[in-house]
């Protein structure tokens, strides 16, 4: 199993917001300029540190959403997509206050397990719950960037169509690349869902129809709230996928 060991000192770097882009009513992408950013592999995360004028500071981890930049041209670029939590301390700032020119500090990249090296030959099966899409989007974008030919399937569990992050980009990529997306809407009362999507919770039939059969030996990444990841993992194992092919990333409340 490929690992990306980076045992070196991780320094705090100044990040400047270049652009803020609303993805949904509660999620916003911040495109950051981070001079000296060492580059990342798809799936890794970054620690963000906010400091108030009186010196008080606090830190949170966010998944990196843009394509791998290890060795890339735009190596100083970093994108995070933040879901606003009503009672959060950091997410309301990042989704509501921070704008172009504003600064904070970042440290990373962190994590080398939940990471997809662009040259892996196995089909790629991605399962996202809510804002767990962010590191998987980095993998989808990296797949395109390195012109990988492995098939990619994304199963995206989300409350309603309005909660789909990267909706337009995903539709475009589905048309133009070996990507198949199946959205699963957990709250849907409006009759038949849009073509290619499902309603309810992910279950064995969704895994069977929207995933890859175990014989294809896919590499699997699941990211989302703990309950989602727990359910997805159990369904995958139940349908014959070996546990060691499944990599998970969970977030509890990261306020």
| Residue with smaller CB distance to other proteins, 69 or 197 | 69
Contact stretch for other proteins (CB under 8 A) within 34-42, 58-66, 164-172, 203-211? 58-66
The verdict on 204 binding other proteins (CB under 8 A) reads no
Q: What is the closest distance, in whole angstroms, from the C-beta atom of residue 12 to other proteins in the complex?
A: 6
| Residue with smaller CB distance to other proteins, 191 or 253 | 253
Long-range pairs of 171-180 with CB within 8 A, sequence gap ≥ 24? 173/140, 173/144, 177/143, 177/144, 177/152, 178/149, 178/150, 178/151, 178/152, 179/140, 179/143, 179/151, 179/152, 179/153, 179/154, 180/151, 180/152, 180/153, 180/154, 180/210
Contact stretch for other proteins (CB under 8 A) within 18-26, 49-57, 139-147, 193-201? 49-57
CA distance to 83, 84, 86, 91, per residue, from 94 (Å): 9, 8, 12, 5
Q: Which of 18, 70, 75, 93 binds other proteins (CB under 8 A)?
A: 93
Q: What is the dihedral of CA 54, 55, 60, 65, to 10 degrees?
A: 90
Q: Which of 104, 116, 156, 228 binds other proteins (CB under 8 A)?
A: 104
Residues in contact with other proteins by the rule CB under 8 A: 3-10, 12, 14, 47, 49-53, 56-61, 89, 93, 97-98, 102-105, 110-114, 226, 230, 233-234, 236-237, 243-244, 246-248, 250-255
């Amino acid at each position: 199993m490929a690992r990306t060991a980076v045992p070196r000192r991780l320094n705090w770097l100044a990040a400047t917001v270049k652009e803020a882009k609303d993805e949904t009513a509660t999620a916003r992408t911040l495109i950051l300029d981070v001079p000296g950013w060492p580059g990342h592999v798809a799936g890794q995360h970054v620690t963000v540190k906010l400091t108030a004028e009186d010196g008080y500071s606090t830190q949170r981890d966010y998944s990196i959403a843009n394509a791998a930049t290890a060795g890339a041209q735009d190596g100083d670029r970093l994108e995070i997509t933040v879901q606003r939590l009503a009672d959060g301390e950091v997410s309301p700032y990042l989704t509501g206050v921070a704008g172009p020119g504003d600064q904070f500090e970042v440290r990373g990249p962190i994590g080398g397990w939940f990471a997809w090296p662009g040259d892996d030959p196995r089909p790629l099966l991605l399962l996202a719950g809510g804002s767990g899409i962010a590191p998987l989007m980095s993998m989808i974008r990296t797949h395109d960037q390195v012109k990988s030919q492995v098939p990619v399937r994304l199963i995206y569990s989300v409350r309603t169509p309005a909660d789909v992050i990267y909706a337009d980009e995903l539709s475009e990529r589905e048309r133009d690349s070996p990507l198949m997306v199946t959205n699963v809407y957990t709250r849907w009362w409006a009759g038949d869902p849009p073509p290619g999507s499902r309603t309810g919770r992910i279950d064995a039939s969704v895994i069977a129809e929207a995933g890859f059969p175990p014989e294809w030996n896919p590499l699997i990444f699941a990211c989302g709230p703990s309950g989602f990841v727990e359910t997805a993992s159990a369904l995958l194992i139940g349908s014959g996928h070996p546990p060691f092919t499944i990599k998970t990333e969970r977030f509890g409340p990261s306020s």
